[in-house]
Structure 1
């Protein structure tokens, strides 16, 4: 597998400035030709102020979506363009060799030199597979790119406010589905799923399965995809020897909106792959525990509003994802 046989898709919604360092790391003048993807596509997911092609580095193609469909829809637009051999009508690539693999990258990533070429090289013996790498936050701490398929237990524990201050502990990481063994390993490690900030995808196989489910606006779409690819015999792997820095939060600046997207996505996943009514019941019970905990904190003089917090949580559990504004 060669990096020159790999396309890159970077979805954006908003100013392109955030993605400039990533684009320069992919196609900048200091990047050797042998380490550049065959094509690099920026997919403008109906940004309020459209991305100007003049603001993109040379060698980067621009696709514009008429409507904001969310992360999965934007990625699918790029994947189909790679498979079809054209980014837009006036830029045909019909004479180019087919692109068997696609790198999907969040626009806020910081990648070291040579990372993409090394990822492609490491993944070659396992192809077709979905491959990711370590994700590091701004402070250098792990964002736990390797995870277990979500369960009702994982999501209920994560919902419990009394445990929030203990989430640095290994037992809590495992309780919410973080695969610590993979995160602390080396080499290529089989995992349930890898976080979608950076993914190497087998292009044909993913599109044959329908690509990302566009019913997810934001969050959990990569989990759904990797559940489907796993059932089709395509594994997910963590390249534990490689790491990128992930700024995070660029697509959901408002916390309330982020929570609606996240809970709505998890309910959709539960409807498709689990038991949504059981999940709602478990999270509702966790909200009851949060109410008791917050009531005690208020009696202790803390500035909390237990009933308002419980009302917000119940609204998310029972309404998120139903007619949610984009």
Structure 2
């Protein structure tokens, strides 16, 4: 399964499974069905020791992209897993993709096209809920006041400062310049930090005119362990120079209103 690493191509996709085997198989099938002409290599990292991946047709199946499966001896954080998966990338663009993403069409041709434009540091799609409504993947800077208004008062986003990492496409040069995710964030806020560092480096975040479905897990709302990780990451973010400098940045644009969107 772990064949020779591909050193050229247009796009490499990194997927990390934390026991999401069934979701990963569905996603790989989606990639095979819709994105065989857009994706050159897919790297799947199994982060839970002993986790297996029962690929349809087995390891000998013919895939339209190079498929590599890597297994961790011990669990790593979200950013560390993606950093390691993409450390040997030779493709022109890298993609971070959540295992709970579902495709109904190929989003990557448009994402790569947007990411290839001058001055762009990251392209991302519109994320949809399962019911077709627009998901709140574009967020304001998570100040304590903004979080309180969002969680306690149910207020939506009034501005966009960062985007979540369910699906991000970056030029390899930008990914390397920023050295990927900051691994001091074990889970949560690594996408806030990366978005802000992209902008502070003078690059743009660009929403591509494509959509996909994100079956978001929202783990911090159900698990005390995830909530503790979230709080710890927020404290690290708020104490960081990245957060301090990002408070001077203008918003990207007004957050889009929720509603039905076609893929």
Q: Secondary structure at the match of 1:236?
A: strand
1:124 Cα deviation (Å)? 2.5
CA contact (8 A) 1:108 1:250 kept: no
CA displacement 1:97-124 (0-9 Å, x = unmatched): x312111100010112221122212333
Which residue of 2 is the match for residue 131 of structure 1? Answer: 123
- The 3-state SS of whatever aligns with 2:203 is coil
CA distance in 1, matches of 2:151, 2:53: 41
Q: What SS is found at the alignment partner of 2:193?
A: helix
What is the CA–CA distance in structure 2 between the aligned matches of 1:19 and 1:62, rounded to whole Å? 11
Q: Report if aligned partners of 1:44, 1:51 keep a CA contact under 8 Å in 2.
A: yes
* Cα deviation 1:81-101 (Å, max 9, x = unaligned): 32xxxxxxxxxxxxxxx3121
Q: Output the CA distance in 2 between the equivalents of 1:33 and 1:18.
A: 18
> After superposition, where does 1:180-195 map in structure 2 within 5 Å?
191-195=160-164
**Counterpart position of 1:44:** 46
**Alpha-carbon separation, structure 2, partners of 1:270 and 1:222:** 14
Which of 253, 260, 266 is the equivalent residue of 2:228? Answer: 260
Query: Does residue 80 of structure 1 match 2:48?
Result: no
What's the C-alpha RMSD, in Å, of the aligned pairs?
2.5
In the alignment, structure 1 residue 222 sits paired with structure 2 residue 191:
yes
Matched, 1:237 2:206: yes
- Residue 108 of structure 1, aligned match among 80, 91, 100: 100
Change (3 A) 1:63 1:32: closer
Question: What CA distance in whole angstroms lies between the structure 2 residues aligned with 1:69 and 1:33?
Answer: 29
| Paired residue secondary structure (2:117) | helix
Aligned equivalent of 1:140: 132
Any stretches of 5+ residues in structure 1 without a counterpart? 83-97, 180-190, 276-326
Q: Which has the larger radius of gyration?
A: 1
Distance 1:140 1:157 in 2: 25
Partner of 1:64: 71
TM-score by length of 1: 0.64
Question: Which whole-Å deviations, capped at 9, do the CAs of 1:22-79 have from their partners, x for residues lacking one?
Answer: 11122x2x447533x111100122x143234755664311122222122111111111
SS at match of 1:122: helix
Pair 1:15–1:274, CA change in 2 (3 A): closer
CA distance in 1, matches of 2:201, 2:161: 14
The 1:106/1:33 distance shift into structure 2, 3 A limit, reads closer
Which has the bigger relative contact order, CA under 8 A and spacing at least 6? 2
Structure 1 residue 205, shift from structure 2 partner: 2.1
Distance 2:27 2:119 in 1: 25
2-structure distance, mates of 1:100, 1:192: 26
The aligned counterpart of 2:156 is: 173
1:206 equivalent to 2:175? Answer: yes
Which segments of structure 1 move beyond 3 Å, counting only runs of 4 or more? 30-33, 52-59, 250-254
Distance 1:24 1:42, change over 3 A: same
- Map 1:264-279; keep pairs closer than 5 Å: 264-272=232-240, 273-274=242-243
Q: Is the 8 A contact 2:220 2:227 kept in 1?
A: no
User: Contact 1:13/1:251 (CA < 8 Å) preserved in 2?
Assistant: no
TM-score (norm 2): 0.77
Q: Does the aligned pair in 2 maintain the 1:194–1:237 contact within 8 Å?
A: no
Count of matched residue pairs? 230
